[in-house]
Homo-oligomer: A and B are copies of this chain.
Amino acid sequence: MIDRYARPGMSRIWGEENRLKLMLRVEEAFLEAIAEDKGIPAAELKAFKTAARGGLHEQVVALEAKSGHEVIALLSAVGARFKDQAPKLSRYLHYGLTSSDILDTALALQLREAVELLVADWEEVAARLGGLAKRYEFAWMAGRTHGVHAEPITFGVKLAGWHAEARRNLARLRRAREEASYGKLSGAVGCFSQVGPQYEARVLDALGLKPEPVATQVVPRDRHADYFHALVLSAAAVERFALEIRHLQKTEVLEAEEPFGEGQKGSSAMPHKRNPVLCENLCGLSRLIRSYESAMVENICLWHERDISHSSVERVILPDAHVALDFMLARFRKVLDGLQVYPERMKENLDRSLGLVFSQKVLLRLVDAGLSREEAYELVQRNAMRTWKTREPFLKALESDAVVAKKLSRKDLAACFDLKAYDKTVKELLARGGVA
């Protein structure tokens, strides 16, 4: 796990202690499921569930070093501890199961805990995006394509788009949660050779999981690769938003800035600098999470009923990707909380294009007035080029163009440059983006 980026909640989930706890939770549910049939006394079961388990992790680590096998080490440690206290139960611990029954079922529980944290993270972010969208509903700014001014947009609409993307990613994470909610207790090679399907049904039901219909020795890894994609897309969304803030914070643009603490120093050399380092960090982390994906997909193609090559990959990638994404969402929330937005500067920048951003409106009015599209296009482009070169406002240029004047009155022309006309659509776009 990446310490630098690890927040406590997500760290706990991926820590060894929780991992062991979840594995024991599965063993316990299994013991409960077979207790009656195998005659395990209720007192033993109770002892097993309530006994102190401190120090188990250290014991397991020590035993694993000897046996080279994690689950066997866990069983030995637990077995030793309960041998006297719960002799019958000890014999039936892990009865007829294979390691992957425990590992994969516990992993499903772990993924569910993790994804719930991510869902909560995203909801915090989405709430802020919605709030900011509302606040800047009519903060007009240049819409930009290719980095070049295109037509006006409001910062609120931009944020409503982010809000919609946040919600899409929330939906993806929830879908991923379902994909990850499959366990198995079908034993070695998945054939229920020792213990029948009825016990699997009871155990998974108790854990809130669904049975893998036809497992190999493991829950098939296409599920995990599918699950993982939701993380990659979530990271990419944050990256897209962070990238935009970096653009808005460029010296020449300066329409927004990420928060900059009092004691913070932007540069060891240049004290005046306020750099979008949080957002840059978010872009880097997304790059990282994205890169993991190919390994998760490669994991699908295990040999026969499974080899164990996926294990090292998952040991590294699953904690790291969850930790990094959790960190990203928390950091991005912080960015949004302290985001500096400069609406006057947005307007100022928009005005820099001298009205050219309204060119299409003029073009269409000329078409409405009877010109062919090609004629109108050339007429508008001619005047646009003139504005571009002479810095004469576009409206002025058009007003002094005789051909235009013949088609459009001054009032008609002026109407093309009026932002008020867009108010209704702005409101509608916010609503479409789920912003109340």
Contacts and interface: CB of A to CB of B under 8 A. Distances in A.
Nearest to A435: B214
Nearest to A286: B301
Contacts of A143: 188-191, 217, 304-305
A49 interface: no
B295 A290 contact: yes
A263 B76 CA distance: 13
A148 B250 contact: yes
B249 A222 contact: no
A213 interface: yes
A208 interface: no
Contact of A433 (B214, B237, B264): B214
A232 B4 CA distance: 25
Nearest to A311: B284
Report whether over half of chain A's contact residues are helix, strand or loop; otherwise say mixed: helix
Contact of A191 (B153, B239, B302): B153
A18 interface: no
Interface in A249-290: 249-253, 261, 263-277, 280-281, 283-288, 290
Given A93-B373, A225-B233, A271-B381, A277 B146 contact: yes
B290 A160 contact: no
A300 B239 contact: yes
A263 to B, nearest CB: 5
The copy count of this chain in the complex is 4
Contacts of A244: 303-304
A148 to B, nearest CB: 5
B94 A268 contact: yes
A313 interface: yes
Given A99-B268, A307-B145, A364-B194, A220 B161 contact: yes
Contact of A294 (B99, B161, B290, B305): B290
Given A236-B222, A246-B307, A264-B67, A291 B291 contact: yes
A222 B168 contact: yes
A150 B270 contact: yes
Interface string A97-118: 1110000000000000000000
A236 B147 contact: no
Given A287-B295, A308-B275, A360 B96 contact: yes
Contacts of A426: 191
Contacts of A243: 301, 303
A26 to B, nearest CB: 13
Interface string A80-97: 000100000011111111
Q: Rank and list the top 10 A-B pairs by shortest CB-CB distance, nearest first.
A: A143-B189, A272-B384, A271-B381, A146-B275, A144-B304, A284-B312, A291-B295, A161-B214, A252-B252, A213-B432
